[in-house]
Amino acid sequence: MEDVELYPWTKIAPTLGVIFISPALLTVGGTIGTLLPIEMAVAVSILAGLTFSTLIYLHGGVGSRAHMGLLRVMEASLGTKGSRFFASPLITITQIGWFSVLITLGGEALSNLTPMPKALSITIFGILVASVTYFSFRHLSDFTKVTAIVTGAFALWALYAILTSGSTPSYVTNGDLLYASTLAIGGAMSISTVSPDFVKGAQSIRDLKITAFGVVFPVVIFSLISGSLIGHHTSIPNPVQALMIIGLPILANLLLLVGSTAAASSLYPPSIAISKLAGISRKNATVLAALGGLIVSYMGILDQLRIFLQLIGVLLPPLIGINLAEYYVLSKAVLPKEGVYLRGLISWILGAGFGAFIPVGVTPINSLLISFFVYLVLHIRLKSFF
C-alpha cells in the first residue's frame, strides 16, 4: 500500500470531475453530433457517460480499495517490469495525445485573437501551458477547476446561442451508431484507465460511488451533449471553428483559449510515467512530454481525431480488463509480481488485437471483455505455465 492521504468525496470528486469539462471532450461530442441525428447523439452521450462512470467505479475502485495508483495496480497483472516498460508508455502516448488536442484548440483560439500564424500560436500556447505543469505541479487541481468553469461557461453560451438562433440545424444522415459509440467511449477511456491515480485517496467506497455516479456521470454527459449540439448545428466538430457559424463574437475564443489550458493537467500522467520509466526528474520529464505533444500537434492530430479515439479504444481497455480480472475474480487484492507477467501481456495482446482486427460492435468494450476472459482462461487452463 502506498503512503496516501485519504479524503472524502468532496475533495476527490471535483478533482476528477473537472477533467471531463474541457474543449477536448466538447470536440469529441462535436464529432458525435456530426455523425448522428441529435436524438441518437444524446443517447450515445448518456451511454458513454454511464460507461465512464462504471469503469471509474470498478477500475478506480481497485486503486481506491488498495490505495494505489495505476502503475502499482498494474504490477499485479503485468508484473513490475511489465507495468514500468509496457503500461507506462501506453499511458504516456495517449495522454500526450490529449495534450496535443488541447494545445491545438488553444492555439487556434489564440490565432483568431491575434495576427499570429497558427503554428506559432500553438507553439507559444503549448509552452505556456507546459510551464504551468512544470512550475505549479502542486496546484494543478485548483488550476483545472478554473479551466472547467470557463469551458462550462463557453458551452452554456454556445447552447444559448443555438437555442435562440431560430436557424435550422445542418442536415445529418443516419450515421453508424456503433461507430459513434466507439468514438464516444474511446474519448475518455484514457481517464478511465488512469482513474486509480485520481481516486486512490478516497476514504471509502461510498466516496468513490458518489464521485463516479454523482459527479462524473452528469459532467460527462453535459460535455458530450453540449458538444453534440454544437457539432449537429454546425456540421463542424471543432468548437473553435464552429464559433462564427453559431454566431458567437470573436471574443468567445478567449473562453476556449482559457479552457484549453486544461492541457496542463494532461501532462501530469505522462510526466510521472516518463520520470519513472527513464529515471529522470519530474520537471525534465514534463519538458520531454511537452515537446512530444507539440510535435504531434504540428502533425495535425485534431484533423485525425477519429483515428486517435479509435486507437485509445483499442490500446487502453485491455489494461482495465486484466486489472478487473486479477483483482475482482482472482486475488481480491493487489499482489505485485516480479518481472513481466506473461498472462497479463498475452491477454492485452489478444484484447487489443481483437479490437484492431475484428472491429465489430463497440470496440473498447470488446477489447476490455476479451482481455478479461482471456486472463481468466489462462489462469484456469495454463496456470502452471503463466
Structure confidence by residue, pLDDT tens digits, 322-333: 999 999 999 888
Q: What is the mean pLDDT of the chain?
A: 88
Confidence grade of residue 360 (pLDDT, cut at 50, 70, 90)? confident
Domains annotated for the chain, with CATH where assigned, are 9-303 (1.10.4160.10)
Confidence grade of residue 1 (pLDDT, cut at 50, 70, 90)? low
Rounded Cα distance between 339 and 317, Å, is 22
Say whether pLDDT at 170 is over 80: no
DSSP 303-356: GGHHHHHHHHHHHSHHHHHHHHIIIIIIISS----SS--HHHHHHHHHHHHHHH
Q: Are 126 and 103 in contact (CB under 8 A)?
A: yes
Q: Are 224 and 88 in contact (CB under 8 A)?
A: no
Average confidence (pLDDT) over 154-182: 77
Structure confidence by residue, pLDDT tens digits, 342-357: 999 999 999 999 999 9
Confidence grade of residue 383 (pLDDT, cut at 50, 70, 90)? low
Q: Evaluate the CA torsion angle 110, 115, 121, 125 in order and state its sign.
A: negative
What's phi and psi for 202, nearest 5 deg? -65, 135
DSSP H/E element including 110: helix 88-113
Q: What is the pLDDT of residue 133?
A: 87
pTM, 2 dp: 0.90
Structure confidence by residue, pLDDT tens digits, 193-227: 888 988 999 999 999 999 999 999 999 999 999 99
Say whether pLDDT at 255 is over 80: yes
Structure confidence by residue, pLDDT tens digits, 49-106: 999 999 999 999 999 999 998 889 999 999 999 998 899 899 889 989 999 999 999 9
**Type of residue found at 147:** T
